[in-house]
Amino acid sequence: MAKQAKETSGEGFGGLGLDPRLIETLSALGYEEPTPIQRESIPPLLAGSDMIGQAATGTGKTAAFALPLLQRILARGDDRKKPSAIILVPTRELAMQVSEALHKYGRSLGTTVLPVFGGQPFDAQIRGLKRGVDLIVATPGRALDHIRRGTLKLGGISEVVLDEADEMLDMGFAEEIETLLAETPKERQTVLFSATLPPRIAAIAKRHLTNPVKIQISRETLGKGEVPKVRQTAYMVRRPTKLPALARILDIENPTAAIVFCRTRNEVDELSETLTARGYRAEALHGGMTQEHRTRVIKKLKTGAADLVIATDVAARGLDIENLTHVVNFDVPSAPEQYVHRIGRVGRAGREGVAITLVEPREHRMLRNYEFATKQKIDVAQVPSQADLRARRMELTRASVREIILEDQFDGFRAVVESLSDEFDLMNIALAALKLAHQASGTEADQSDEELAPVDMPFEGRREGRGDSRGFDGPPRGGKQGGKFANDARPHGRPDGNMARLFLGVGRHAGIRPQDVVGAIAGETDLSGRDVGDIQIAERFSTVDVPKDRADDVIAALNATKIRGRRVNARHDKH
């Protein structure tokens, strides 16, 4: 039976049996009370017990195993040339994070830590190993490479920590873990931490741990009237409207920093390009990118130079972004454990976070599995309407204007207002300035409410082919024939005298939809969706009517961007 975390108070870290020097370091770092996983794990680890710890990312488990490791190093005295412990982690990012934490906790003790992972030169790691280190934090693949080269020997290891064990297995490191454990002494202390405990983890524990203490930190249950630290919301959308739905949701949520999860590399590239074209500061992150690129992207998100990272699960593993506010599942996770890992990146250390999932009607049953895994209700909401979006943008404009007023730095503009006040009422001047500020904050062009019509949650037992007009098995709304959203092979007639017809070298074959054309024009020029006339989508090309006096500007803007990842090759239509 797993030991459940219990509440204690008053003793802080001093009641856990830690060395006074470690307690002093923790106090200097601002640590006052241990988290539940630290309170339950530290005493048995100090006693030398093997342990299985189940706790979500962000609960403080790094300190839970790091502090006992450091204390046992202190007990070794001067005999510290060879490493006494190895911590295995799934990703390079996590290896760096754990190494930084160990260095921080053990700095005053003179503890040496060496991160060992791929993407770094072997020579630098070999030099570090030759100098001698207390602790090694390694990814399984690179650790095994060093063992095969003879540059890493684990015969003197007394402690092994498997951090994020389920992640390592998901990434295919099972064989490497078995090999590495076989290289260490049998009488070692083995500690296993995992957010989930599937059967594969239990099998490893049975083979390699001896009478382990089991610690399980349950997710916090909410009291009456309390707000969950992670607000989970799902939006029921059809596949063709996912992108505009995401854009509108992001506009409403206005995240400080967000990760948007996709299934494939191609989808990551396409979505990041499209969102960038719509004015978001989006960066792509997937397994096909170099470590240098990954580091640059992560730094941009951490420093606020990017708002969104569009990523696959593999690429995002090990990311720990302190200022992350939102996680978005553009594609639903295939398993509840994957959902738990994704949303575990927000709502940490008492901060509130938001988890958003775009669910196609056929995937609605997955929500029940996610609710069971998180023990929290997922609210199913409608995609915000145009009215909601306008209200939100007005709210943001109001907040921006209020902030400027509080700064009270108007001297450069006072003369302008004074000159206008001779001719106009002060209220009208303020309204005009507010309108300019609002228009400068972003375009009002967006997907029509008709195109993003609500989708009902399918009810159990609905027969296929008998859904109503809003059901999941009916055709998508929109797609007017002969109007702005037509799909004929060639337009009927010529535009009126105030409009010009443009030819675009992309069509249905490239997945182009009328809303993509409208979004690109509105996003790259100061025209709104209302200024765009008839759109015709053919197999290999499209045409769009725009105001004649702005045609050249639209052509230049479209040729400088992409629609759904494709070059547009816009020009005046010659027909």
**Is 99 in the same domain as 202?**
yes
What does the pLDDT look like over 274-305, one tens digit per residue?
Answer: 888 777 888 888 877 777 787 788 888 878 78
In a domain, 478, yes or no: no
- For 327, other C-beta atoms within 10 Å of its C-beta total 26
Would you say 132 and 153 are in contact if contact means Cβ atoms under 8 Å apart?
no
Would you say the pTM of this structure is higher than 0.85? no
Going by pLDDT thresholds of 50, 70 and 90, the confidence category of residue 360 is confident
Going by pLDDT thresholds of 50, 70 and 90, the confidence category of residue 137 is very high
Give the total number of structural domains in the chain.
4
Cα distance between the two ends of the chain: 77
State residue 525's pLDDT score: 83
CATH number at residue 289: 3.40.50.300
**Is 491 in the same domain as 401?**
no
In a domain, 463, yes or no: no
Residue of 194, 294, 242, 309 whose CA lies nearest to 476: 242
State residue 481's pLDDT score: 33
In a domain, 457, yes or no: no
- How many distinct helices (H) and strands (E) make up the chain? 20, 22
Last residue of a domain, one of 191, 216, 241: 216
What is the distance between the alpha carbons of residues 29 and 62, in angstroms, rounded to a whole number?
15
Share of the chain above pLDDT 70, in %: 82
In a domain, 450, yes or no: no
**Is 338 in the same domain as 425?**
no
What does the pLDDT look like over 547-567, one tens digit per residue?
Answer: 999 999 999 989 888 887 788
Predicted confidence (pLDDT) at residue 77 exceeds the cutoff of 80: no
- Give the three-class secondary structure for 61: helix
State residue 85's pLDDT score: 94
What is the maximum alpha-carbon separation in the chain? 90
Q: Which stretch of 44-48, 232-236, 402-406, 463-467 has the lowest confidence by average pLDDT?
A: 463-467
Beginning with the edge strand found earlier in the chain, give each strand of the sheet holding 135-138 in spatial order: 3-4, 213-216, 51-54, 189-194, 159-162, 85-88, 135-138, 113-116
What does the pLDDT look like over 176-187, one tens digit per residue?
Answer: 999 999 999 999
In a domain, 449, yes or no: no
What does the pLDDT look like over 455-514, one tens digit per residue?
Answer: 555 433 333 332 332 232 332 333 333 334 444 433 345 566 788 999 888 887 777 888
**Is 48 in the same domain as 170?**
yes
What does the pLDDT look like over 15-36, one tens digit per residue?
Answer: 899 989 898 888 887 777 888 8
Q: Which stretch of 44-48, 177-181, 269-273, 434-438 has the lowest confidence by average pLDDT?
A: 434-438
State residue 473's pLDDT score: 30
- Asked whether the CA dihedral 487, 489, 491, 492 is positive or negative, the reply is negative
**Is 45 in the same domain as 178?**
yes
Going by pLDDT thresholds of 50, 70 and 90, the confidence category of residue 530 is confident
Give the chain's mean pLDDT.
79
In a domain, 473, yes or no: no
State residue 7's pLDDT score: 40
**Is 167 in the same domain as 257?**
no
**Is 18 in the same domain as 46?**
yes
Last residue of a domain, one of 216, 250, 275: 216
Please list the residues that pair with 138 across neighbouring strands: 88, 116
Going by pLDDT thresholds of 50, 70 and 90, the confidence category of residue 146 is very high
**Is 36 in the same domain as 145?**
yes
Tell me phi and psi for residue 483, to 5 degrees: -105, -150
State residue 464's pLDDT score: 33
* Range of the structural domain that residue 534 is part of: 485-572
**Is 381 in the same domain as 421?**
no
**Is 12 in the same domain as 128?**
yes
Q: When comparing pLDDT for 413 and 248, which is higher?
A: 248
Predicted confidence (pLDDT) at residue 382 exceeds the cutoff of 50: yes
**Is 17 in the same domain as 153?**
yes
State residue 56's pLDDT score: 67
Share of the chain above pLDDT 90, in %: 23
In a domain, 416, yes or no: yes
State residue 223's pLDDT score: 44
Hey, what are 209's tokens? Answer: 């741990």
In a domain, 42, yes or no: yes
Last residue of a domain, one of 354, 385, 416: 385
- Asked whether the CA dihedral 62, 63, 68, 71 is positive or negative, the reply is positive
Q: When comparing pLDDT for 357 and 454, which is higher?
A: 357
State residue 58's pLDDT score: 62
State residue 269's pLDDT score: 86
**Is 211 in the same domain as 266?**
no
Would you say 89 and 137 are in contact if contact means Cβ atoms under 8 Å apart?
yes
Q: Residue range 264-283: average pLDDT?
A: 83
User: Looking at beta carbons, which pairs linking 454-461 to residues 24 or more positions away fall under 8 Å?
Assistant: 454/236, 454/382, 454/383, 455/236, 455/237, 455/238, 455/361, 456/236, 457/236, 457/361, 457/364, 457/380, 458/361, 458/362, 458/364
